[in-house]
Structure 1
Amino acid sequence: MTTTELETLSPPIGARCTDVLSDTLEGYAGIESVEFDLESGQLKATFDQRIISNESALQVINKAGEIAATRVGQCVAKAEHGHAACAGCAGQMGEMLVAQYQAAATLPIANIQGGVIEASLNQPHLAEGEISIAQASLSGNKIAETKKIDFSIAQEKKEVALTILTLLTALVAFIGTRNGMPTLTIAILYGVAYVAGGWYGVQASLDALREKTINVDLLMILAAIGAALIGQPAEGAILLFLFSLSNTLQSYAMDRSRKAIEKLLDLRPATATLKRGEKWIDVPIDELLLGDTVIVRPGERFPIDGSVTHGQSEVDQAAITGESVPVHKDVDDKVFAGTVNGTGALEIKVTRLAKDTTLARIVQMVEDAQSTKAQTQRMLDDFEQVYAIIVLAAAALLIVVPYFLLGEAFQPVFYRAMTWLVVASPCALVISTPASFLSAIANGARNGVLFKGGVHLEKTATLKVLAFDKTGTLTHGMPKITALIPLSNLDEDELLRLTAALEARSEHPLARSIVRSAHERDLNLPLSTSFRSVPGQGVEGKVEGKTLWIGNERLFEERGVAIPADVLSRARAIEDEGQTVMYAYSAPEFLGLVAVADTLREDAVEMIKALKVAGIERVVMLTGDNPRVAAKIAERAGVDEYHANLLPQDKVTVLKTLQNKYGPVAMVGDGVNDAPSLATADIGIAMGGAGTDVAIETADVVLMSDDLQKIPFAIGLARRAKKVVWQNLVFALAVIVLLVVSAFGANLALPLGVIGHEGSTVLVVLNGLRLLGYKG
């Protein structure tokens, strides 16, 4: 038993606050008692370390303090804030609390520093039924998220309203001009049309000028003002209406791609059924703590990431991994928020907080990826600046030369220059790349393929070679012991007991197969000491006081230990059958051989064929296994070449050789043992990312499931995106050339120039959106 003291509440807590805290804390397993000092505001909790750790107890106590604080007025509510807290956030918090929970109108917001927001609730009369103020009310992050969503919706409505206002006022003014409407009224109507149509364009232009850049919005605004100055306000109003309409349609179309990802978060339930003592209660998912037990009934969605502690069921994981077939779940299996439970009830232990679930991280990653510019897009952005300056300079020359040097009439000269500003603007050119890549990234995420950014999507489209790690990638990664061959006075069980005791400290798939076999035989494993893993060779350590080495031939070669000829001969015969052999040694003798076999994935052969069809020139297998085993697996898989007996640094060397010989190379691995290779390759692809944090962090492309068919899908999607980008670029350039030629060769009218310009912009966005429907 351990006692810990914490000052969690201030100012001095009241009796009603202590009641809520007691009810909350004593419902947790391991919390024995809770005492309060009402004068100092100090809390003392006694808990059983055998049931709950110090860290978990502190987490429980702090969380309980937040919950109690939100129930009772005379506590101080605290909430984590992901960014620097601001006065605006504090003000909004106050308004929300006053409106929703009848807190005093003079609600003070204090200590808005260090990422913590404190709000003293001066209303001690909240009903017992009002369990807590939701995290959305207290967390700055959630407030920011709510504001962002509300702003997005309001922005769309405002854009539509301003576009309609521009059209109506311009139309009335145009009709009024031909029907005797007073000049002042017409001027006012056109003025409203100009303000409404140019509202966002002027803001964007001023922002660009403040950053000492020029954008397309500025060109449009100048052309509209120029039309008004030469007595053509109707044409300027039409320009602004079409420009506003085009931007509204672009925003709507681009938002479809973003919402395709944001909708994933809607898959997560708002509440979870939590076990509290002997009761099951519904709580907001933000209140769940690590180690909590949650029940998920048949047909319900999982509210949180966790591991199964009781029950069996089939789970539809399509939302996370893209797998079309439900996956069987048993005790100790992982489950993910947003997936759907099948016919069995499951109790799960929470392994990640709501903000850290795989689903939340996927959404955050994709949002980050969509804001990362590809190389083509960066080039176009740079080009836009130079091009816009050239367009403005050319417009000035188109006025100065004909009017001042050639003596042409001012109005047609000026009109032609304004038309030039419109038709030469590179709107469609600039939007062609982000519209396509954003849609492709969104589609990939919905199908269990995460591109870490547009630059990685673009590189994936250029791949020439794919290199695969063997174990766990081309094979199942679940090797089984096929033979135990004692070489001394040990029997099979004793050989397995000693090797499993040492391998229990290793994370290698072969080590896990040995330990699993020992557990299946109900062997009691002693503790090992002085454990050390030797990458690419094996392990060493002490078991029951004796030094033990387990590994491949290289482990013993580098230590100067000769393997007897008869032992080597027996090992060779096993390896010729495609099995891996590990030698167990304790000086001065070899204790035995452990043979394991890992089978090729059923879909590996089809996947490699699909890669060839997709245009991949070379498929390579890299492994630390011996050449005999590697040759058997390579032959069955149909790879072009293989490299065996590789250490992690050797794989890096092979990848560099492939890059120099063939061009861009991708490495496919598990994201843990292959981290150096993933970093060296042009594109690192990690499989099974839904279950590993390392895979999500290290790779450029993450496959959320172990489905090999997702690799040809990812490459096909990237190549289709590249194709669509080039379609958009060619089309946009062709339209610009056509409009410019028409403007000078056929005296193209300004409104027709606007229609051609804005129409091409909308078309390239819609063409990019087609990638949302790509299915491979």
Structure 2
Amino acid sequence: MNTNRTPNPPRGDGHAHGFLGERAELVSALLALTVYLTGLILELTGNGGPATLPLFVAAYVFGGFFTLREALLTVRRGRFQVDFLMLIAAAGAAAIGKWEEGAVLLVLFSLGHALEGYAMGRARRSIEALGELAPRSALVLRAATPVEVPVEELVVGDTVLVRPHTRVPADGFVASGTGSLDQSAITGESIPVDKQPVADRAAALADPAAVDAGSRVFAGTVNGAGALDVVVTRLARDNTLARVVRMVQEAEERTSPTQRFTDRFQKVFVPGVLALVAVLLGIGALTGEPFADTFYRAMAVLVAASPCALAIATPAAVLSAVGRAARGGVLVKGGAPLEEFGRLRTIAFDKTGTLTEGRPRLTEAEAADGVGPQELLRTALAVQRLSDHPLAQAVVRDAPALLGAAPARSAEPAAVNLRAVIGRGVTAELDGEEVHIGSLAYADSLAGPPVPAALRERTRQLAESGRTTMLVRRGERYLGTLGLMDAPRPDAADTVAELRGLGVTRMVMLSGDDQRVADEVGRAVGMDEVRGGLMPQDKVTEVARLRAAERTAMIGDGVNDAPAMAGATVGVAMGAAGSAVALETADIALMSDDLRRLPFITGLSRRAGRIIRQNLWLSLGIVAVLVPATVMGMGIGPAVLVHEGSTLIVVANALRLLRYPDVREARARR
């Protein structure tokens, strides 16, 4: 992977990027400054004479070397950019004997260019540092013996040993050992995440995507105090960290709407500046002004009108924001989604797995009159242990907590002969009695006593509040009803409130669940609108309807919701670190399964938009002031000083995005 690749440089495609290139350009600029100041001091003290001209010529050489190289590259490609205009101005100053003026132009331009390159390199290195997180070697078991090999030689199925307080060398899952991993570099989670072994190594290796997040590990994360055996599931070139670094680098190539505007503007503006210079020369000739004076003023206008700050205004902000987002566990695929997300006021959420945890929970156990809740739960637990249905698994997982101190498994009653009634319920035998568990419609279809009126009413109330209900009947007695629900994430309501504080005015939940279930979740988390009973194609239609009114983001898992996300202004995927599909399909990917990343990227994108606008107004304002000033007589020296100063201000303003705070992360660390 070429981490020094820098597409779309702001001033000419030949800019010497990389740390060594930045240092060489800075050294050349400092040499130019040194010889220029030496010549200037000699001239001011009256000791110059013939010695000053060679010094100013040397300033031309050192100050113009990198500028000339870039200008030649861009001219060969049929483009005329800022470097070209500066060289014309410097050559013009030399042609009329103004070597000192031309030297100060190239010195200040090269110095500003070098400092700009160094600052932009700092933003790039914050991204490239991600690629250095993964170890270069790994301890892998070969014939039961640990052998250190380069990570590039690891293959799927290898078992690597991860020692305490070292970095994980590959994507995979924990086969043995327990511990806590710092995943902040990948997912942005501020606290370590506990990891435990998978139950079935062969099944996990056959379907790595199905491995629970509590067993999945990523290359570049930091192990805690425990030793882990990790089975590799992805090659080094395909692991999550490599994908993130590659996609963040590619994000530089994806220009934003503002960048496309400035590119089009420059294509018209630069030839326009040359035309203005020609007009000024013509006016001077008509008025009889000395040619040297006319030509000097024209060169000063050429310097003043060069849109250096405008060229760098958007790329600097986008690069800084994308780098900051990546360090915060969010992948932004370029300036376009960054700018669009910063402007939107409407967000559509998928329900299951986005606003909710994506799995049902047992929330109520309502015993019938004369029946204790212990008998209800124990009976349901004994039968549902035999089923692999998600609702049954929820009962098995959550019933012990409602029971309190549950007896040992061997002391619990054991059910046998489970039979499923598709879409309605299950039946089994428990201590010689037949047990039925299922919907109210299933209960009504059974022979024997009807559902008691009080229990029927309570079941109806639970259903209206968004619960999935299951009546439990043992023999001829109804023991009660169970209420299950895909509960909202604990932080969903707070996240929605934070988004409102950031300026999101309309939030809509889209769900395939029954409208009553969707309404209950929507009320709990604070949605403005709730659409239930939707098929995948219906979600696409809803997103299109919302987008017709205003910019709309769609938040989903990046797989099932991919069509709806593709139809939104910006598609955002959650939990993308574990899903290659989500990484590829989303415009913005929240690497962790953490809804709290959403306010972070919303605030960052809005701040980036403000900084881009500030930079544009500043750069255009400087040009608007300098051009008339140089027409009225301002010299080249002051013009280039203001010109380069504005460029550095624009870059420094953009670099503030690298320090954008994550409020929740700071709170968690405290």
Taking structure 2 as the reference length, the TM-score comes to 0.80
Which among 750, 753, 756 is matched to residue 636 of structure 2? 750
Whole-angstrom CA distance in 2 between matches of 1:320 and 1:712: 18
Which among 546, 557, 564 is matched to residue 658 of structure 1? 546
Corresponding residue SS for 2:18: helix
Which among 220, 223, 232 is matched to residue 338 of structure 1? 220
Which among 643, 660, 663 is matched to residue 774 of structure 1? 660
Which residue pairs with 1:419 in the alignment? 300
Which residue pairs with 1:395 in the alignment? 277
CA shift, 1:483, in A, is 8.9
Tell me which moved more, 189-198 or 608-617. 189-198
8 A contact 2:384–2:392 mirrored in 1: no
CA shift, 1:151, in A, is 7.2
Which among 588, 611, 626 is matched to residue 499 of structure 2? 611
Tell me the alpha carbon deviations over residues 372-427 of structure 1, each in whole angstroms, 9 at most, x when there is no partner. Answer: 11010011011001100110010011111222x11111111111000000011111
CA shift, 1:238, in A, is 0.8
Higher relative contact order (CA 8 A, sep 6+): 2
Which among 231, 236, 239 is matched to residue 97 of structure 2? 231
CA shift, 1:330, in A, is 0.6
Whole-angstrom CA distance in 2 between matches of 1:455 and 1:748: 39
Q: Cα 1:741–1:525, aligned 2, differ >3 Å: closer, same or farther?
A: farther
Whole-angstrom CA distance in 2 between matches of 1:744 and 1:433: 29
Which among 280, 290, 302 is matched to residue 146 of structure 2? 280
Which residue pairs with 2:259 in the alignment? 377
Which among 234, 246, 262 is matched to residue 364 of structure 1? 246
Which among 706, 710, 732 is matched to residue 597 of structure 2? 710
Whole-angstrom CA distance in 2 between matches of 1:143 and 1:609: 39
Tell me the alpha carbon deviations over residues 355-376 of structure 1, each in whole angstroms, 9 at most, x when there is no partner. Answer: 1111111111111112211010
Whole-angstrom CA distance in 2 between matches of 1:255 and 1:511: 55
Corresponding residue SS for 1:461: helix
Whole-angstrom CA distance in 2 between matches of 1:242 and 1:525: 87
Corresponding residue SS for 2:509: strand
Which among 109, 113, 132 is matched to residue 243 of structure 1? 109
8 A contact 2:380–2:395 mirrored in 1: no
Which among 580, 590, 602 is matched to residue 693 of structure 1? 580
Residue 154 (str. 1) matches residue 35 (str. 2): no
Residue 317 (str. 1) matches residue 183 (str. 2): yes
8 A contact 1:580–1:625 mirrored in 2: no
Which residue pairs with 1:601 in the alignment? 489
Which among 346, 368, 374 is matched to residue 465 of structure 1? 346
Q: Cα 1:142–1:238, aligned 2, differ >3 Å: closer, same or farther?
A: closer
8 A contact 1:307–1:349 mirrored in 2: yes
Q: Cα 1:272–1:145, aligned 2, differ >3 Å: closer, same or farther?
A: farther
What one-letter code is carried by the residue in structure 2 that aligns with 1:285? V
CA shift, 1:278, in A, is 2.5
Structure 2 counterparts to residues 503-522 of structure 1, below 5 A? none
- Aligned alpha-carbon RMSD (Å): 3.5
Whole-angstrom CA distance in 2 between matches of 1:576 and 1:601: 21
Unaligned runs of 5+ in 2: 7-13, 199-214, 367-378, 400-407, 426-439, 446-450, 472-480, 663-670
Structure 2 counterparts to residues 431-446 of structure 1, below 5 A? 431-446=312-327
CA shift, 1:176, in A, is 5.1
8 A contact 1:436–1:725 mirrored in 2: yes
Tell me which moved more, 207-216 or 753-762. 207-216
Taking structure 1 as the reference length, the TM-score comes to 0.70
Corresponding residue SS for 1:267: coil
8 A contact 2:19–2:121 mirrored in 1: no
Q: Cα 1:199–1:358, aligned 2, differ >3 Å: closer, same or farther?
A: same
8 A contact 2:383–2:415 mirrored in 1: no
Q: Cα 1:515–1:657, aligned 2, differ >3 Å: closer, same or farther?
A: farther
Whole-angstrom CA distance in 2 between matches of 1:143 and 1:724: 26
Whole-angstrom CA distance in 1 between matches of 2:507 and 2:4: 47
Structure 2 counterparts to residues 245-324 of structure 1, below 5 A? 245-324=111-190
Whole-angstrom CA distance in 1 between matches of 2:605 and 2:5: 30
8 A contact 2:381–2:395 mirrored in 1: no
Corresponding residue SS for 1:352: coil
Residue 197 (str. 1) matches residue 85 (str. 2): no
Whole-angstrom CA distance in 2 between matches of 1:239 and 1:524: 89
8 A contact 1:664–1:682 mirrored in 2: yes
Residue 765 (str. 1) matches residue 651 (str. 2): yes
8 A contact 2:509–2:531 mirrored in 1: yes
8 A contact 1:298–1:342 mirrored in 2: yes
Unaligned runs of 5+ in 1: 1-140, 486-490, 504-508, 527-542, 552-561, 584-592
CA shift, 1:209, in A, is 2.1
8 A contact 2:26–2:115 mirrored in 1: no
Tell me which moved more, 473-482 or 352-361. 473-482
CA shift, 1:608, in A, is 0.8
Q: Cα 1:512–1:416, aligned 2, differ >3 Å: closer, same or farther?
A: farther
What one-letter code is carried by the residue in structure 2 that aligns with 1:675? A
What one-letter code is carried by the residue in structure 2 that aligns with 1:330? Q
8 A contact 1:484–1:496 mirrored in 2: no
Which among 348, 353, 367 is matched to residue 235 of structure 2? 353
